[in-house]
Amino acid sequence: MSVSERYRQAWESYWQNTSDAPGEAIWDADPSLSAIPHLALLAPHADATLPIADLGCGNGTQTRCLATRFPRAIGVDLSSAAIEHARRADTEKVAEFEQLSLTDTARVRELHERLGDVNVYMRAVIHQSDPPDRLPVAEAVATLLGRRGRAFVAELTEESKTVLREAAQSPGGPPPKLRRVFDHDLRPADARTAEVPELLREAGLTVLAHGPTTLPQTEYRADGTRIDLPAHWYVVAPA
């Protein structure tokens, strides 16, 4: 298991200091801007009778939406504090949540044994993982898919760094939600754009479809415009 203690503690600290208010995390966009349009891209390729796993689920906003489209939805996250947020927010108990490091190969395999083949939803996980962890994260996707699952993967591109830098250099400094990302030593858009498809292929996955997109944030610039981060999406299947 290669997750560094720095990385784990950064995420625990972030979620421990985040309220339960919707949108408090900068990436906690409404599903109408995230999961729903993403599912439209995944749907032509996926068996909707399979469960779906939301990897890096955070406070579970997208997981609860996924639960309305699939017979079973489970959200997993490295941070136990994030999972506590997700369980509190799921007042109707439509989804399941558990703490899991995607680099823990044994536990990922155990999850696959429990669930069987699943579809996967993963939004912005590889780009902020430490470099040694990026291939294990992609391999976790492959393990969970088994033979029948399909995955939707969206990752920030390098252009996102420019957008974030410009937002941080506004006259009043970084907007509050972005400042908290920096304060907790999280590292958005840290992977090269070309690295993501390379990792997916190395993990034994085939890209069925892909294209440019943006990941809307819940933070705004001083002029009132929403921060949307450039990204690329992939629908992948076992090779």
**pLDDT 10s digits, 75-95:** 999 999 999 999 999 999 999
pLDDT band at 2 (very low <50, low <70, confident <90, very high): low
**pLDDT 10s digits, 166-178:** 999 988 889 999 9
At 118 the three-state DSSP class reads: coil
**pLDDT 10s digits, 36-86:** 999 999 999 999 999 999 999 999 999 999 999 999 999 999 999 999 999
Q: Rounded to a whole number, what is the distance in angstroms from the first to the last CA of the chain?
A: 25
| Residue-level pLDDT at 124 | 92
At 76 the three-state DSSP class reads: strand
Other Cβ atoms closer than 10 A to 230: 18
pLDDT band at 1 (very low <50, low <70, confident <90, very high): very low
**pLDDT 10s digits, 191-236:** 888 999 999 999 999 999 999 999 999 999 988 999 999 999 999 9
CA angle 71, 204, 5 (to 5 degrees): 80
Could you give the strand order of the β-sheet that contains 205-220, starting from the edge strand earlier in sequence? 96-99, 73-77, 52-55, 119-123, 151-156, 226-238, 205-220
Q: How far is CA 112 from the centre of its chain?
A: 19
